[in-house]
Amino acid sequence: MPVEITKIVSGGQTGADRGGLDAAIELDFPHGGWCPKGRYAEDGKIPDKYNQDELYSKFYAHRTEQNVIDSDATVIFTYGQPQGGSLRTAQFANTHSKPYIWIDMRQSNDNSAENLILWLEQLRISQIVLNVAGSRGSSYPDLQQRVCAIMVNVINKNREQSTSKPK
C-alpha cells in the first residue's frame, strides 16, 4: 500500500534527531516535534531553524515519549543495539502500541532508504507522521550527516511514489 509521509518530527537532539530535521529543511518538507523546555540539547540551545515546540518539562524522556505518541511510526538510528534514550524510544513505542524500526548504522547501506519505505508501506497507514530518533552526535559525530542522507532519499522516493499514484 502506498504511503505518504506528511511530516518529520524529532526531539531536536544532536545526531539522529537533527539528521532527520536537516533532511526535511533541505527539501522544504514539513518538520517539527517536541523538545525540552528551554530548547535544551547536549550542545546548548536547539537552533531556531528547527521548528521544535517546547514541552513543559526539561527532561529528555518526556519529549521522547510525546514525539512517539504524536507520531504514527518511529525510526531509530543507532550504531549497535539501542541504549539510553534510543532504548527508551523503543520502549515508549511498545507502551503506546506504535510501530518502530531500528536501523543499525554499522550495517546501513544504499538500500536503507528503500528498506525504510518498504517497512512504512507494510504498516498499511496511508499518511504518516514519522518520528526520527537515535543516538546523539557526541557519541557518533558522523551520524547526523548519515541520517540526513538516508532521510533525504526517503523523502524524495516517497514524493516520487506519492506523485505517481493513480488518481
Q: What is the CATH number of the domain that holds 152?
A: 3.40.50.450
Per-residue confidence band for 165, with pLDDT thresholds at 50, 70 and 90: low
Structural domains counted in the chain: 1
Percent above pLDDT 70 for the chain: 97
CA dihedral 18, 86, 31, 150 (to 10 degrees): 70
Beta strand ranges found along the chain (DSSP E): 4-9, 31-32, 34-35, 40-41, 44-45, 53-54, 73-78, 100-104, 127-134
> pLDDT tens-digit profile of 57-102?
999 999 999 999 999 999 999 999 999 999 999 999 999 999 999 9
Higher pLDDT, residue 166 or 151: 151
Judge whether residue 162 has pLDDT over 80.
no
pTM: 0.95
Per-residue confidence band for 163, with pLDDT thresholds at 50, 70 and 90: confident
Judge whether residue 150 has pLDDT over 90.
yes
CA dihedral 119, 104, 59, 12 (to 10 degrees): -70
User: What average pLDDT does the structure give for the chain?
Assistant: 94
Tell me which residue range forms the domain holding 159. Answer: 4-163
Distance (Å, rounded) from C-alpha 54 to C-alpha 152? 25
Cβ atoms 125, 10 nearer than 8 A: no
- For residues 29-53, give the mean pLDDT: 97
Angle subtended at Cα 152 by Cα 151 and Cα 153, rounded to the nearest 5 degrees: 85
Cβ atoms 98, 72 nearer than 8 A: yes
Cβ atoms 12, 52 nearer than 8 A: yes
Per the listing, cell 529528555 goes with 60
Cβ atoms 85, 64 nearer than 8 A: yes
For residue 4, give the C-alpha cell. Answer: 505518504
Per-residue confidence band for 56, with pLDDT thresholds at 50, 70 and 90: very high
Q: Which residue type, as a one-letter code, is found at position 101?
A: I
CA torsion through residues 142, 5, 11, 28, sign? positive
Closest CA to 156 of 2, 9, 27, 46: 27
Judge whether residue 108 has pLDDT over 80.
no
